[in-house]
Amino acid sequence: MMLLFLYKKTRRCTLKKIIVILVILIAVAIVVSLRHEQILEEELRKKEEFLMKIEKRKIEAIKKKRRKDFISSIGKKISSTIKEEAKRKVFIIDGEMCFIFKNTDDLTDKEKRIASNISLICSPLAELESDHIQVSVEKQRFYAIENDEVVFLGKVSTGAVSGTTPKGIHRIQNQAEYTISRKYKCPLIHWMAVTKDAMIGLHALSGTAYEGRLGSPASHGCIRLSHSDAKKLFEWVSKIKKENSQYSQVYIY
């Protein structure tokens, strides 16, 4: 019936018109087919995203349980004399475990090795104040510590050449929201001088391209921070200075 109808309608048409009509019909069929495929792909994508969310939640739950079990196991590896201290000094921040000992005089050599292996921070230095900054050259991380607890941490870039970032206990010398490097003539954002000659400090750089290298050595000796971490640490250092009437210590190791 359909063919008969088309024949009656097009019997007076030229061959050219018939071809045009056929092309239009084919084009419409292709568009409908493509749209149908797009709808199917969209439905498939939504299903995959839903399944990925469920899988991600399962993985996070497993990780959380493993962290909890791992922290619980720490107490079994450390002598009973410092178990309570260990419980108070273990923190999970941004998915990383921080373990602080303010005084390790009571630890045996074996326990010190255990503490060193399982911790991001192991501070046996009694001369460190309760509010200070730690910078790990090995892990390329900084830790802001207030009342002997890690309040926040982040990635850094220390000296690309070994030894250019001076290790030891220092103290913030001065602060400036913006300054220019005397040696390299480049802008330094949220500058916090660490050494007495103010040649080495914590800071961010202009732009954000350098942030991709944070977590690995890349500087001339200073301690580079992301813009957000530099601002946060700058404000924290100002607060500590106001509370303690002096700048905080910086322990680089």
Task: Cite the active site residues.
Answer: 203, 222
3-state secondary structure of 184: coil
DSSP string, 148-162: TEEEEEEE-B-BSST
8 A C-beta contact, residue 102 and residue 148: yes
| Amino acid identity for residue 167 in this structure | K
Residues in CB range of 232: below 8 A, 6 or more apart:
152
CA distance 125 to 144: 16
Token pair recorded at residue 242: 């106001």
Beta strand extents in the chain (DSSP E only): 90-93, 96-99, 132-136, 141-146, 149-155, 168-171, 175-180, 187-193, 201-205, 223-224, 249-252
